[in-house]
Structure 1
Amino acid sequence: MDQLLAIRVFARVVEAGAFTRAADSLDMPLATVSKLVRLLEQHLGVKLLQRTTRRVTVTPDGAAYYERTSRVLKELEDIDTGFASAHQRPRGRLRIDIGSANASCVLIPALPDFIARYPDIRVDLGVSDRQVDLIGENVDCVVRGGNADELSLVARPLGRASWVTCATRDYLKQHGRLTHPDQLKSGHRIVSYVSARTGRVMPMRFQKGSERLEIGSLQGMGVNESNAHVAAGLAGLGVIQTFSFAAKDAIARGELLPILSTWQPDPYPFFLVYPPDRHMSHRLRVFIEWATERFAHKFDRAT
């Protein structure tokens, strides 16, 4: 048995929560993954994992073994990365997942600079507003907004994006200008953003001084993809509330007009999320440094 390989495989099963997902992320046959874990258990003389048809759970001995070996694996990873960084240019495949508006408005326009700096890195970009499983889907990092509440992952703050509420000139001529958010409840159409992860309508939020308001789904429509959400606003289908960077060009061209500008909700935080450091390749390290700098120019400030 290759004990180091078996330990790495065991750690990935723990992190992925399933043998199948661990095998996929390691690009190894499922039978090999299962065999290595079984041989490791025989070598140690303890049960590390409890297997059922639906899930894998870690035994108390398995949890203790994972905690101690993960430190060893991290040290080995740091040693390897240090030598590789000193003698080689970063290379290989880097899988990134990002929301549609961030991809179109921030990341993709900036990628020529990253590729020019690191021509040996192949970027595979997944663009969607759904939430991916980094370990199970073998993704190196994702850009996510909201609360960084996944304790098993590392979240690097990128900054906060401000909001804008807007509509087309023709729409406002037809339905009237607004001076207070409550006016949206009478005679106006709202194009709501629907979470691709939960299916829930995201309410419009407004704040002016100490006064806070939320307006949920009213007459109008819902869209679950951020670029399509802005497109619906441009089509005159109703009032939208979106990130300022997503609507900036359309506003500059006069295609969308900002409204209720004195009612500004709190900026929305974004994070670069990736697995713990011991999985970090040289190519991921340089991307994290580059992306942190690049997003800071687009967002209000890092937090």
Structure 2
Amino acid sequence: MQEEAYHIPVLLAECLEALQIDPAGTYVDCTFGGGGHSRAILDKLGPDGRLVAFDQDADAAQNLPDDPRVLFVPHNFRHLQRFLRLHKINSVNGVLADLGVSSHQFDEAERGFSIRFDADLDMRMDARSERTAAQLLQTYSEQQLHKLFEQYGEVTNARTLAKTIVTLRATMPMQTIQQFKAAIQGVVKGNPNKYLAQVFQALRIEVNDEMGALKQLLEQLPEVLVQGGRAAIITFHSLEDRLVKQFFKQGSFEPEEDHPFENKKQVSLLKVITKKPIVPTMEEQKRNSRSRSAKLRVAERI
């Protein structure tokens, strides 16, 4: 499968520059996908360099280059350290994560990620996991649905939407995208496409526990990076970006507390390289509309 058709790598040159690649180093691509970022890293690695590519989506494996320097791990990047240790890798020179959903996942109708098609409401990035979006809609309480639409989708009428789903799900089927859209049609606000995109984003994040996985990845970075090693993380919405910014800056997800008599300030083992996130050029945004909301943040292990 052609990488361009599968997924166009976002902020490619900026990522390569940020990682400051050592030709003999070991690098991790946490989100292999179409392999665009990985191929560019391999081009800069020498014969002793190594690339570890993670991807929980079985479809990604068909994009693997025939290269002895590549180790493919078909699992979620939340298990980063575990699989590095399993392969006798104690530390790495750089970690890259592109947290966006691949174009391939959006364009494959049966995956259920896109509002453009009709298919089962699936949204699992890893087909081995149990819970689909349809199951979530059937089993979550009104309060749980309200919270996830509000937090993960920033849906303006999250409470009304949750109440509607719980009221209608006993009598109306919500197994497919079209069934779900028909069921909630009466509460859609503003631009329908934008509204549904926010709703679908919230469901996708919850189905795949994307926030939990990101937190676990970030917490492992200080332990897996060599001194001077770098982490480059590309986010696509404010929730992810906030987590990355906060962890890079203070080494935790807890809000900093000001105690006048205590000095318990968390010390981060990462130095922030990007005071402001790097965003795509206008040229890249025109070439690849899905890059518009991308933000790259970079930190270095001290």
TM-score range, shorter chain: under 0.3
- TM-score normalised to structure 1 length: 0.27
Q: Higher relative CO (CA 8 A, sep ≥ 6), structure 1 or 2?
A: 1
Query: Which is greater in Rg?
Result: 1
Structure with greater strand percent: 1
